[in-house]
Structure 1
Amino acid sequence: MSDTLLVTGASGQLGRRVLAHLLDTCAVPPARLIAVTRDPAKLADFAARGVEVRRGDFDDPGSLGEAFKGAGRLLLISTDALDTPGRRLAQHQAAIAAAKTAGVRHIVYTSMPNPDGSPIPFAPDHLGTEQALALSGRGWTILRNAWYFENLAFSLPGALASGKWFTASSDGRIAHLSRNDCARAAAFALAAEPGGNTVYDITGPVAETTAEIAALVSQALGKPIEVVQVSDDDLVRGMVAAGVPEPMAAILASFDTNTRLGRAANVSDAIEKLTGRKPETLRSYLAANSQTFLPDHGAHT
């Protein structure tokens, strides 16, 4: 049986970090790794280290069979195709079918917290993918990744500029974590010895309210932030007025709804169990990265 490990979406921000952790943290020999991307040129640095880079396009299912050939375990990183309802789920289903045809024994998938019944518009993509894995006849590991610290860049620059953080999250808590910790967990899950089918809640070490997050940011940057609670509809209207496209504003507001309903508050020790290390705290992350949230820093991550 093949012991080759394959990463899809390998040129993305999460995928590149997974490859780095496989090589440098998990000490996987590069000859055991396959990296799949729409644009192999973007992974020239990993190809130079001995990783096999292949082209695969989730919108071209025919390309996936060859891309996945010879892999024993595969990391399916969820795509960012949110422009058309159902497109991302169709991509994932095609990838699972191609993996099955290629003889992949085990699939690791990056999902989201509590996708069943979630108010977040793209949750059905994740739930449908989890269901497809359960029916695939392959072994599977589901990583339900909590929201990245990096995603605070959607809210914090405006809050720091105005001194007010408008939110609909109320006193709901959220267990943020770094993208790097998600990548490290995914690398260990992919490199692990084959086991039973498992769902892991991949979370930060503590769940915090928006007010608590604002206090930490204020302390790190020396800028006061007042948290202002608003309704879901008012939050969407405010973002649209600030120039955010309405579909994206609705998705961002749904994160606050999700938090308010207590659906993002779970804290687990899955990262420590998988990797042997606890995840980074928000305080630690801010100490190293707070400048990225300043209003003049640039685009969102």
Structure 2
Amino acid sequence: MIAVTGATGQLGRLVVTGLLDAGVPAAEVTALVRDEARAADLAARGVQVAVADYTDPTGLRAALTGVDRLLLVSGSEVGQRVAQHTNVVEAAVAAGVGLLVYTSAPKADATTLVLAPEHAATERAIAAAGIPAVVLRNNWYWENYDTQVQQAAATGQLAGSSGAGRAFPASRADFAAAAVAVLTDEQASPGVHELGGDQPFVLADLAAEVGRQTGTEVVCADLSADEHRAVLLGAGLDEGTAGFVVALDGNIAAGELDAGQGGISALTGRPTRTLAEHVALVLGR
């Protein structure tokens, strides 16, 4: 039995459907969800649906009974994730899960990335629990740039403060495929995988590609952190969100997402989605 937490979320759902597409019998897949109604389509395909909240240790243990492999998709509640993830890890140990797979952050144990501390703490909790584990350190999603693609196409302008900092983005579907590859590999070995797309990316590449596909010039403004914050506040973002976005761009500028290429394709055996392909999808071309 393979179980997936957060199975109605953007990544979790892709993993569940990816398992089915890979030939795993639906009866051997368990979708852990908070809202059973949101998993009606998965249940209709024969997937086992279990209601289990990250904050409910008892429910988690019951849901994981009989599970051989578990994908722990990191939670979305910043500040609560370490406690929540630890509940899942402890429940997995109690239920006798044989392999835990966790979606972490790039270079989680050696980075200043604003997203990393809770991931690093979770990795330490997994190690302390002694459960065999595969850590998938997901780089950047192309989907993170969807709004900017649309704005650049509409206005001919793109702005950020990530400078020449490189990332290795891939699509959510690519990251899901990597998780499926590990979950279905009978010889999967415990360890850490830095997962990224096949090609490096800087923000100016996005402007150039949107311009190429729309046939118009797109100007990419490389701003200071203060200038970027002012632009975001002027666009209606609240102070906290603007600060978070600027901090992420600062991390990218500092090279914190420059974690190397090919990690996904090494697991899946196929190329990851390109920048051109993703821009075309967003623009409906």
For residue 135 of structure 1, give the secondary structure of its aligned residue in structure 2: helix
Q: 1:61 to 1:234 in 2, by over 3 A?
A: farther
Identify the match of residue 147 of structure 1 among 121, 129, 140: 140
TM-score norm. by structure 1 comes to 0.89
Q: 1:107 to 1:80 in 2, by over 3 A?
A: same
**Larger CA deviation: 244-253 vs 66-75:** 244-253
Does the alignment pair 1:45 with 2:38? Answer: no
Q: 1:205 to 1:22 in 2, by over 3 A?
A: same
Q: 1:175 to 1:33 in 2, by over 3 A?
A: same
What is the match of residue 58 of structure 1? 54
Does the alignment pair 1:185 with 2:185? Answer: no
What are the Cα deviations for residues 268-293 of structure 1, in whole angstroms up to 9, with x where unaligned?
3222221221211111222233249x
What is the match of residue 264 of structure 1? 257
What is the match of residue 6 of structure 2? 9
Which letter maps to 1:6?
A
Aligned pairs for 1:81-230 within 5 A: 81-82=77-78, 85=79, 87-230=80-223
In structure 2, distance between residues paired with 1:142 and 1:266: 15
For residue 166 of structure 1, give the secondary structure of its aligned residue in structure 2: strand
**Larger CA deviation: 226-235 vs 34-43:** 226-235
What are the Cα deviations for residues 32-77 of structure 1, in whole angstroms up to 9, with x where unaligned?
1111000111111111111100001112233211111110110000
For residue 70 of structure 2, give the secondary structure of its aligned residue in structure 1: strand
What are the Cα deviations for residues 144-191 of structure 1, in whole angstroms up to 9, with x where unaligned?
111111100243344444432221111111111101101111111111
In structure 2, distance between residues paired with 1:88 and 1:15: 16
Alpha-carbon shift at residue 117 of structure 1 (Å):
4.7
The CA RMSD measured in Å over matched residues stands at 1.7
Sequence identity, in percent? 38
Structure 2: tracts of 5 or more residues without a match: none
Is residue 119–residue 254 contact of structure 1 (8 Å, CA) maintained in 2? no
Q: 1:221 to 1:79 in 2, by over 3 A?
A: farther
Which letter maps to 2:88?
A
Is residue 141–residue 199 contact of structure 1 (8 Å, CA) maintained in 2? yes
Is residue 88–residue 125 contact of structure 1 (8 Å, CA) maintained in 2? yes
Identify the match of residue 285 of structure 1 among 268, 278, 281: 278
Is residue 207–residue 266 contact of structure 1 (8 Å, CA) maintained in 2? no
Which letter maps to 1:264?
L
For residue 129 of structure 2, give the secondary structure of its aligned residue in structure 1: coil
Report runs of 4+ in structure 1 exceeding 6 Å deviation.
none
Is residue 119–residue 257 contact of structure 1 (8 Å, CA) maintained in 2? no
**Larger CA deviation: 63-72 vs 266-275:** 266-275
Structure 1: tracts of 5 or more residues without a match: 293-301
Q: How many residues align?
A: 285
